[in-house]
Structure 1
């Protein structure tokens, strides 16, 4: 009886959430009102802010050496969608945003732009960066999604943008970023050693690999797993090849086997990132949770 009551409460709460917020898929065709351009946009619950491809940035009246000193000035920039259509835009700089990644820290200008579905755009702060190496020229972050949408990479249970996730093979719990912008899961791994390994990473597929991982509390564990494939990861800095292994990952008590790529995330806040290959078919992501 108690199980049935709990299930009814869960279904009711999910229904209420669905009534309050619209559902949106992992990608959508959106427009930037001032450009009349259409973009295939990626919904990215791993990103705080929305990000637009921009280049040839020019601060009117000249740029100060300190980017923050340019706040309030007019910024001219060119944007381009996935079809190669371009337009020159101008907007006041409202703030700067510093983004940390594995390559270090990067400061970007932020402007207010009207972004959304054609005819229903709404103003949101957008950071501007060169996304020429990225598949999606417009990335929709939590500041656009919040309070309005649930991101559905398929269907099923709700999960927030951050969750406590277990990896059975490590015996560790990780405070984890749930990132619909990432195709794959990614785990912090250092001291990778392949048994009878060779320089050609592809030729090491099928061999056993040992590595050290560590959660955000600094608790470390040595893991041994078989390399199931390699993954080519592209980002703004170029591309890199990573080993992939299969691990049992999930909310405590609900772990299931899934592929995860291994990389040094020592400079990242989250040592485990959950991507769409774990979410798909299992979870909805609600950035308000």
Structure 2
């Protein structure tokens, strides 16, 4: 009897795992688009919201608005939407219904329109309510009416990354074929032709806070010159002994998802990877799966 229960439980778990694996995992915030707008939004994923909500101002009903909003159903509404970058677009959509929304300010009625919402290669035609979200950080809020299309929300804020990844450094404008190294405490970037303003060549600690200029290159040989401030120094121990390197702060990450992190500078000319990612970039953001292909 006990064996039958265990086997049944295992089969149930496996079936749930297979079912879950068929669904797309979304993070708390995703880059999404509304097809008619052509804009990209930093969308907040909200399982607490029944419907999706889009920032809309300067709302006009084509042909004139009725005294009661529900009488405008079937008409075309024109409005201006805007993303987090301040990019704007004026678009039109048919009003399919109105919705009454309860919030801390009370109850408000909003127009509902049908729009294609999603990602560049995957849209869903859903009801979206229009609201002035000027005072909100996210101009597009994704509700359950979108998420029910086979999506799971992961609020851990951790993404999966493999042992190799194509990463960007915003200050360089370059993409690097990057080695992910959980054994390294810090990130390390290829840097040559290093010049420090009014450099103290005897004690490099005295150069902290000064401006540094250096040349970097990616694996394709594409080069860029960077000028920034020295944040500190780092004592690195390796097979050759110990060496002290300058530390600078750069925006490193997946293209358009970079974040600020400290990076030490080293001549990596003889190394296969010009950018090495250590734990100070991974911590709190990524889990490493060495079976994941680049």
Structure-2-length-normalised TM-score: 0.50
1:137-286 alignment, distance < 5 Å: 137-154=139-156
C-alpha distance in structure 2 between counterparts of 1:33 and 1:118, whole Å: 8
Q: CA deviation at 1:17?
A: 2.3
**Partner of residue 120, structure 1:** 122
Question: Aligned-residue CA RMSD in angstroms?
Answer: 2.1
Superposition pairs of residues 16-165 of structure 1, within 5 angstroms: 16-154=18-156
Q: CA offset at residue 116 of structure 1?
A: 0.5
1:277 alignment counterpart: none
- Cα offset, 1:19, TM superposition: 3.3
For 1:58 and 1:104, locate their aligned partners in 2 and report how far apart those are by CA, in whole Å: 24
Q: CA deviation at 1:26?
A: 1.4
- Measure, in 1, the Cα distance between the counterparts of 2:111 and 2:53: 10
Deviations 1:191-236 (A, max 9, x none): xxxxxxxxxxxxxxxxxxxxxxxxxxxxxxxxxxxxxxxxxxxxxx
Q: Aligned pair count?
A: 156
User: 1:144 aligns to what SS in structure 2?
Assistant: helix
What does the per-residue CA deviation read over 1:239-259, in whole Å, with 9 as the maximum and x for residues that have no partner? xxxxxxxxxxxxxxxxxxxxx
Larger CA Rg, structure 1 vs 2: 2
Give per-residue Cα distances to partners, 1:112-146, cap 9 Å, x unaligned. Answer: 11110113222111000011111110011111110
Matches of 1:17 and 1:135 in 2, distance apart?
Answer: 34
- Structure 2 portions without partners, runs of 5+: 158-283, 285-294
Return the offset for 1:25: 1.4
Find the aligned partners of 1:150 and 1:13 in 2 and give their Cα distance: 16
Relative to structure 1, the CA distance from residue 91 to residue 147 in structure 2 (aligned partners, 3 Å threshold; closer, same or farther) is closer
Q: TM-score, structure 1 length as denominator?
A: 0.50
* Stretches of structure 1 lacking an aligned partner (at least 5 in a row): 156-280, 282-289
Tell me the alpha carbon deviations over residues 132-180 of structure 1, each in whole angstroms, 9 at most, x when there is no partner. 111110011111110311111139xxxxxxxxxxxxxxxxxxxxxxxxx
Match of 1:13 in 2: 15
Secondary structure of 1:56's aligned partner: strand
- Residue 35 of structure 1, CA deviation: 1.2
Q: Which structure is richer in relative contact order (CA contacts within 8 A, separation 6 or more)?
A: 1
**Distance in 2 separating the partners of 1:35 and 1:147:** 22
Distance in 2, matches of 1:2 and 1:131, equals: 55
Question: What's the CA shift string for 1:39-76, capped at 9, x where partnerless?
Answer: 01111110111100000101111111100011111101
